[in-house]
Amino acid sequence: MNANLALRRIFATLAIGASMLVTAQAQTLSFTLHEHLIIGDDEEAPFENLFYYPEIIRTDSRGNIYVKDARSTAVRVFDANGRYVTTVGKRGEGPGELREVFGMHVDGDDRLIVADRMSRRLTIFTDMGKSFATKSLAEDGRTIQPRPILSLDNSFVLMYVTLFPNPEGGPSIKDDRVLHTHDMDFNRLETFAQLGDIYDLDDPFLNAFSTSPSGMKVATNGTDTIVLAPTVYSGYIYRYTRSNDMWVMEKLKGGPVPKRSFMPVSKKDIDTNEDVKRGAVTLSRSTETYRARILSRSDGVAILSTGEILHFPVRTPLKQDFEPQAELFNQNGDLVGYGQLQFDNPELNGNARVMESISIKWIDAADRLYLVRRNSKGFFVLSVANLEISSE
């Protein structure tokens, strides 16, 4: 059988059968997004159907879509066809009200779990907000700030770094473990995954960026596997697998990356150079401000129903358009292939502003991807897409 034909058959639908492909070397592949639902594309639509920026997206067992927008404390719910259903929560400090949402999840029982930093509590809504319960976010007097919350088998995994008061004053002391499992009542069970395994903490910028809300992308298979992808991407993602009551880490090597994943820049560089500004990050800490232009970043990671891993890196070279990519790893953690991420719509592929804005937010049980991008007029929309993978 012709090798290219075999690949096309294997990848005719969303990565089905990719783990059966035995290769000595990763293939160059095409990753094509086929959008079948877009929410927020009609600027004349009611307010509930428009977004400033959809920060967090989840789905429930009935296909309903839950969206936390950047400029709202509430969570909007849409049905599987994109029709607005209801809004859960409202701004306030009372029971069932929200002040600053920084984590949101829908579990296997279709409970909506919202982490509120200002109120220092989790609010757990049932039946789309008709009833709720609360749980403190404090542990030993410290407030935890999970970003994000994901389901495991009869438990949850939360990603956060705990800060301890410095007895000598000055900057807080941070606990460098980032993954924490909790039982169904959100009592902490265990803590694992060292920041130093994922980021070079000897570098001042990476040290500061590693604990920022956008420092890492995370995904689970819902049972025994967690994948972390550092946003400043140097060519590796990290898989944690539960084995013999322990979490075992594997460092998975991806495709080609730039020689430098970031470059330090000054405030003047950001203010005067548009090429630098487009991919620049500024972090202010108690002792110093760090600025860098990220040249290689991760924009999302997902574990497929087959156990394979999809990773979405972006090359952000100076004086060129951003280059959205995708990488496919098999169940053994080997890189099967990598290549350009594109839409089946040539107009979108030809719009640099659209392609630069793609961010993968969620994958559901049917392997549908939920992503955020700009539309042709520059507004952010929520897109639901199937992914076709084929050989070039």
Listed in sequence order, the residues at least 6 apart from 83 whose beta carbon sits closer than 8 Å to its beta carbon are: none
- Give the single-character DSSP code of 172: P
User: So what's the pLDDT on residue 97?
Assistant: 85
User: What is the overall mean pLDDT for the chain?
Assistant: 89
7: helix, coil or strand? helix
- Mean pLDDT over residues 215-238, rounded? 96
Place of tokens 């927008």: 69
pLDDT above 90 (res 180): yes
User: So what's the pLDDT on residue 18?
Assistant: 42
Tokens standing for 26?
């990763």
In the chain, % of residues over pLDDT 90: 71
- Mean pLDDT over residues 372-383, rounded? 95
pLDDT band at 200 (very low <50, low <70, confident <90, very high): very high
Helix residue ranges per DSSP H, 91-216: 195-198, 204-210
Listed in sequence order, the residues at least 6 apart from 329 whose beta carbon sits closer than 8 Å to its beta carbon are: 237, 252, 254, 308, 309, 310, 311, 335, 336
User: So what's the pLDDT on residue 22?
Assistant: 43
Residue 32 CA to residue 35 CA, distance in Å, equals: 10
Listed in sequence order, the residues at least 6 apart from 252 whose beta carbon sits closer than 8 Å to its beta carbon are: 236, 237, 238, 239, 309, 329, 333, 335
Which helix (H) or strand (E) segment holds residue 129: the answer is none
Q: Which string of b and e fits 36-57 if b means at least 16 CB within 10 Å?
A: eeebbbeeeeeeebbbeebbbb
User: So what's the pLDDT on residue 24?
Assistant: 53
Tokens standing for 225?
């596997």
More confident residue, 8 or 340: 340
pLDDT band at 141 (very low <50, low <70, confident <90, very high): low
Amino acid at 177: R
pLDDT above 50 (res 12): no
More confident residue, 3 or 181: 181
User: So what's the pLDDT on residue 326?
Assistant: 98
More confident residue, 276 or 9: 276
User: So what's the pLDDT on residue 168?
Assistant: 77
User: So what's the pLDDT on residue 171?
Assistant: 67
DSSP letter string, 17-86: TGGG---SSPEEEEEEEEEEEEES--TTS-GGG--S-EEEEEE-TT--EEEEETT-SSEEEE-TTS-EEE
pLDDT above 80 (res 5): no
Q: What is the pLDDT of residues 288-302, one digit of tens each?
A: 899 999 999 999 999
Residue 105 — φ and ψ, nearest 5°?
Answer: -155, 155
Tokens standing for 5?
């034909």
pLDDT above 60 (res 4): no
- Mean pLDDT over residues 325-334, rounded? 96
Place of tokens 């694992």: 192
pLDDT band at 163 (very low <50, low <70, confident <90, very high): confident
- Mean pLDDT over residues 48-73, rounded? 95
Whether the Cβ atoms of residue 32 and residue 344 lie closer than 8 Å to each other: yes
CA-only gyration radius of the chain, Å? 21
Tokens standing for 224?
């025994």
User: So what's the pLDDT on residue 320?
Assistant: 84
In the chain, % of residues over pLDDT 70: 92
pLDDT above 50 (res 64): yes
- Mean pLDDT over residues 158-163, rounded? 87
More confident residue, 2 or 215: 215
235: helix, coil or strand? coil
User: So what's the pLDDT on residue 294?
Assistant: 95
